[in-house]
Amino acid sequence: MNVGHHIEILRREFPILHQKIRGNELVYLDNAATSQKPEAVTASILEYYNQYNSNVHRGAHFLANMATARMEESREVVRSFVVAQSIEEIIFTQGTTDGINLVAYAWGNEHLKEGDEILIATSEHHANIVPWQELCKKTKSILKVIPLQADGSWQENFTEFVGDKTKLVAVGWVSNATGVVHPIREIIKAARKVGAKILIDAAQAVCHFPINVQELDCDWLVFSGHKVFGPTGIGVLYGKKATLESMHVYRTGGEMIDRVSFSGTTFNQLPFKFEAGTPHIEGIIALAEALRWLTNIGWDLIQEIEQSQKVWMQDVINSFHELHWIGMAKERVALFSFVHPTIHAGDIGTLLDQQGIAIRTGHHCTQPLWESMQLPGSARASLSLYNTEQEIMVFKKALAKSLKMLS
């Protein structure tokens, strides 16, 4: 069975893809913003609401016990997916941004002091910049930024930025703006030599290759459900148990408490210590279903599909000499950003939309990266497992038509 046939089988599980937009077949190439959801995921949400909708934990009735069991089974699915040692290391969040903010507040405020350094890269998403900027204001620590090479990859001498004052390295595994895969293992190794903590933003990596947090030896890893075929509003923070235990509580209220009295409050054990209030129950269950769905496909096939997609996109890249394709490093996922010297990316996106093609335009929440490149932003086509060779050729034809109309 060839790759194209595998993709066609996967597409059958995504009803949203089988529709027309303004009279044209939908070609969805905005997967880095959010992925579409297979029927198994949406069905799990309906099942929760139609069959066992109830609040979780401490319930004395059948529905509450069933909802609790399904939610905690989901935590085990996530633990297995990232190969954590214990379910105590899996914290459910609102998403990647929420997870980073949790670490900044609950760890950073307690462990950083004046003169300590936090190290990030130029290509970071705003969610992995702004929380550290605010933390530095509070603690008088210093935010250092590693510049990138012209192709979007890390400089070979990046280890020179890691020193005795480095207390945290917080980096995205894959750039959401360029698709470049960063040398995460080398980064972790360099940080470990100086005793720095490691946070990995895996939002753009989680659907492209397997994650093993024990093999990586990171302190924290965060990702969002909606980037990996799950729902919005749910995410995961993995943290080493000892590190999580050393962190102060982030939000307070119900669920994360052990006992409350007017004389004082004691807090719950992990993982509930960081999960205040009623959780996103159906989101957690649906996220687990998405991870099961992805795992069942198998990483060998996933990476075979993506490699084929990159080859197909190369034909598009080669056919548009007037476009500047950004961050074309060797190690990359199937995400491609481009600019035209005289045509605004927003105009390109608008004309593509008129032809049924969904891409992303703008700065992609990476304004410092574009400033370093002296660019206003880009148009971005990002692929997923259900994108076919035919769709990429339709994109190529529509892009050519759009550029001709705008020239």
The confidence score (pLDDT) of residue 361 equals 97
Cis peptide before 376 (omega within 30 of 0): no
Same domain flag for 132 and 189: yes
Same domain flag for 227 and 116: yes
Strand order in the sheet with 378-382: 324-326, 335-339, 378-382, 360-362
The confidence score (pLDDT) of residue 31 equals 98
Catalytically annotated residues: 365
Same domain flag for 22 and 112: no
Q: What is the pLDDT of residues 221-253, one digit of tens each?
A: 999 999 999 999 999 999 999 999 999 998 888
Please state the rounded mean pLDDT for residues 89-113: 96
Same domain flag for 189 and 321: no
Helix (H, G, I), strand (E, B) or coil at 169: strand
What CATH number does residue 391 fall under? 3.90.1150.10
Quick check: 263 pLDDT over 90?
no
Same domain flag for 357 and 256: no
Region for 58 from its dihedrals, namely left if φ exceeds 0, alpha if ψ lies in -120 to 50, beta otherwise: left
Question: Would you say residue 36 lies in a domain?
Answer: no
CB atoms closer than 10 angstroms to residue 8: 13
The confidence score (pLDDT) of residue 268 equals 79
Same domain flag for 287 and 313: no
Q: What is the pLDDT of residues 368-381, one digit of tens each?
A: 999 999 999 999 99
Q: What is the pLDDT of residues 144-203, one digit of tens each?
A: 999 999 888 888 888 889 999 999 999 999 999 999 999 999 999 999 999 999 999 999
- Give the end of a domain, one of 295, 324, 339: 295
- Give the end of a domain, one of 295, 310, 338: 295
The confidence score (pLDDT) of residue 264 equals 82
The confidence score (pLDDT) of residue 270 equals 87
Cβ neighbours for 210, distance < 8 A, ≥ 6 positions apart: 299
Please state the rounded mean pLDDT for residues 317-326: 94
Q: Which domain holds residue 211?
A: 42-295
Same domain flag for 348 and 396: yes
Quick check: 78 pLDDT over 90?
yes
Same domain flag for 230 and 206: yes
Question: Would you say residue 65 lies in a domain?
Answer: yes
- Give the end of a domain, one of 295, 311, 330: 295
Question: Would you say residue 37 lies in a domain?
Answer: no
What is the count of structural domains for the chain?
2
* Percent residues over pLDDT 90 in the chain: 88
Same domain flag for 114 and 259: yes
Burial 38-47 (b: 16+ CB within 10 A, else e): beebbebbeb
Question: Is there a contact between 100 and 89 (Cβ–Cβ < 8 Å)?
Answer: no
Q: Alpha-carbon distance 189 to 103, whole Å?
A: 21
Same domain flag for 183 and 313: no
Q: Alpha-carbon distance 134 to 194, whole Å?
A: 24
Quick check: 258 pLDDT over 80?
no
Q: What is the pLDDT of residues 277-318, one digit of tens each?
A: 899 999 999 999 999 999 999 999 999 999 999 999 999 999
Its pTM stands at 0.96
Question: Would you say residue 35 lies in a domain?
Answer: no
What are the structure tokens assigned to 190, written together?
């360099």
